[in-house]
Amino acid sequence: MHATDHIQQAHTLIEALPYIQLFANKTVVVKYGGHAMTDEALRDSFARDIVLLQCVGMHPVVVHGGGPQIDTIMKRMGIAARFEAGLRVTDAATMEVVDMVLGGKLNKEIVATINLHGGQAVGLSGKDANLITAAKKQLYRSVSPGSPPQLVDIGLVGEVTSVNTSIIHTLETSGFIPVIAPTGVGENGESYNINADTAAGDIAAALQAERLLFLTDVEGIQDRDKKLLPSLDRQAVDRLQDEAVIAGGMLPKVEACLRALDGGVAKTHIIDGRVPHAVLLELFTDRGVGTEIVR
């Protein structure tokens, strides 16, 4: 390697130093999803990022989705998928698949990949130690233009009512990395399917995390001209929502960011998970790879 390459590596490390110092002993919640979960090279890249965060003194917490994987198993089992307002209608049969895929196969695959790269990850669902308690989500929507909103039954879809942070803190202080599947438990022991973006935001707020990151399949939040917006505050977010620039699948992520900020999280980030080592680039460089949403 040429001497200039060594110098560039040194500059990269020096650039990261103030961020490493800033985040020492702080919790960072990462919502893991999209292409980063399905591409083998990106899975390894993500796992290395999470292990490195822990090695430099941070406390990473991973919350993962798994919609495409759930769809695959449901199709194989002959169960039709239905959605209302972007939420998966979850009857008892669908909930069994959600528990099997999120809390079982997918969760353990993520844990195994992190451990393969030198971490000590532990998989959890919302049922473990009552990590996530939930209540049935009440969804109201107009069935026709101009009609008053009506209650739509979407089954076992839940809203977070509380997060038991003690189990997460216990794992963190013992050197383990929590990997959380977004399912919850109701007051009578029933299972609930929870939107992963929403769960990540509520967990980050409960932990008073320093950062909350969402890995997506887009560059970040863009304006009408498709230009990346590197930083937004609440007023800018409200304006972009009113103009329908922020819409579709980006809405629950942005709403989770705002809820997390209200709950005490210092900064939130929506980043391009298709970029190798996106987590490190966003946290430890001056440029980043997405959009930060701040108070």
pLDDT tens column, 35-54: 888 889 999 999 999 999 99
pLDDT for position 1: 55
pLDDT for position 2: 58
Average pLDDT of the chain?
Answer: 92
Give the pLDDT band (50/70/90) at residue 5.
low
Give the count of alpha carbons within 13 A of 198, CB side only: 20
Give the pLDDT band (50/70/90) at residue 295.
confident
Edge-to-edge strands, sheet with 158-163: 158-163, 132-136, 183-185, 191-193
Which DSSP category does 66 fall into?
-
Compute the Cα dihedral for 155, 157, 159, 161 and give only its sign: positive
Per domain, the residue ranges of the chain are: 24-293
Residue 9 has pLDDT above 80, yes or no: no
pLDDT for position 102: 94
For residue 26, which of 60, 63, 64, 51 has the smallest C-alpha distance? Answer: 60
pLDDT for position 3: 58
Name residue 291's beta-bridge partners: 270
Q: For 92-101, 133-142, 203-212, which range has the lowest pLDDT when averaged over its residues? A: 133-142
Pick the CATH number of 24-293 from 3.40.1160.10, 1.10.287.3510, 3.40.50.1360, 3.10.450.630: 3.40.1160.10
pLDDT for position 244: 87
pTM: 0.92
- Answer yes or no: are the C-beta atoms of 228 and 218 closer than 8 Å: no
pLDDT tens, 116-158?
999 999 999 999 999 999 999 998 887 777 778 888 899 999 9
Give the pLDDT band (50/70/90) at residue 6.
low
Instruction: Tell me which residue has tokens 């090279």.
Output: 41
**In this structure, what are the phi and psi dihedrals at residue 63, rounded to the nearest 5 degrees?**
-120, 125
pLDDT for position 141: 80
- Give the Cβ contact number of residue 118 at 10 Å: 12
Give the pLDDT band (50/70/90) at residue 11.
confident
More confident residue, 81 or 5: 81
Distances from the Cα of 82 to the Cα of 134, 167, 213, 238, angstroms: 21, 34, 28, 29
For residue 27, which of 183, 230, 163 has the smallest C-alpha distance? Answer: 163
Instruction: Tell me which residue has tokens 């993962």.
Output: 64
Answer left, alpha or beta for residue 138, where phi above 0 means left and psi between -120 and 50 means alpha: beta
